[in-house]
Amino acid sequence: MPYARETRETYVFVDITPGGMPEVETPIPLLTHMVETFLFYAGLGGRLRAEEKRRLDDGHHLIEDVAIALGRAIDSLLDRKAIARFGWAAVPMDDALSLAAVDLGGRAYWVVKGQLPNATIGGYPLWMFPHWVRSLATEAKATLHIYIRGSDPHHKIESAHKALGLAFRQATSPAPAPQTTK
């Protein structure tokens, strides 16, 4: 189901579907790449388009609003009674290793552990990543745990998005059939 979020600062449109290739457009190149990466590994296609109507800061409003809109779109897509609910993944990327665990049971909580430098890559201030995760978890009604190690900041942030996507893919897979006893 399509979802749009509009504030005085941003406009975000999201229409995601299971399967297919994601198309993401934002004015922040690394955010575009990371959202595409997350959606691809989560097995979600469709479109996300974000515009910054007023630039007030270093992208804080846009990054937060993308996570809010994406989380709400994911929440509306889920049939929580028909999915596996839990998912986890470990993704190595050269020097970096990220672990992600997801519970789509309907309760929002988030943890991000790992050192990200106070730097900006491709227009994305890395200190915003925990805030992006918190906004996504809150709006998707998901518990998200992400643990990141490594030295290259780009590898760390990209492996985290891949691990989170794979954990979402596992958690949204069909629920196992109930066991019967004889």
pTM summary value: 0.94
Hey, what CATH class is 3-171 in? alpha beta
- Burial state string for 48-58 with b = 16 or more CB within 10 A and e = fewer than 16: bbbebeeeeee
pLDDT digits (tens, 9 = 90+) for 140-182: 999 999 999 999 999 999 999 999 999 999 999 998 877 776 6
Q: What is the pLDDT of residue 59?
A: 86
pLDDT digits (tens, 9 = 90+) for 9-21: 999 999 999 999 9
Q: What is the pLDDT of residue 54?
A: 83
pLDDT digits (tens, 9 = 90+) for 31-73: 999 999 999 999 999 999 999 998 777 789 999 999 999 999 9
Computed over every residue of the chain, the mean pLDDT equals 95
Distances (CA, A) of 42 to 26, 58, 84, 89, 165: 19, 27, 14, 11, 4
Task: Give the pLDDT mean for 70-90.
Answer: 96
Place of tokens 């900041």: 153
For 133, the enclosing helix (H) or strand (E) is helix 129-140
- Work out the percent of the chain whose per-residue pLDDT is above 90: 91
Which tokens go with 9? 């600062």
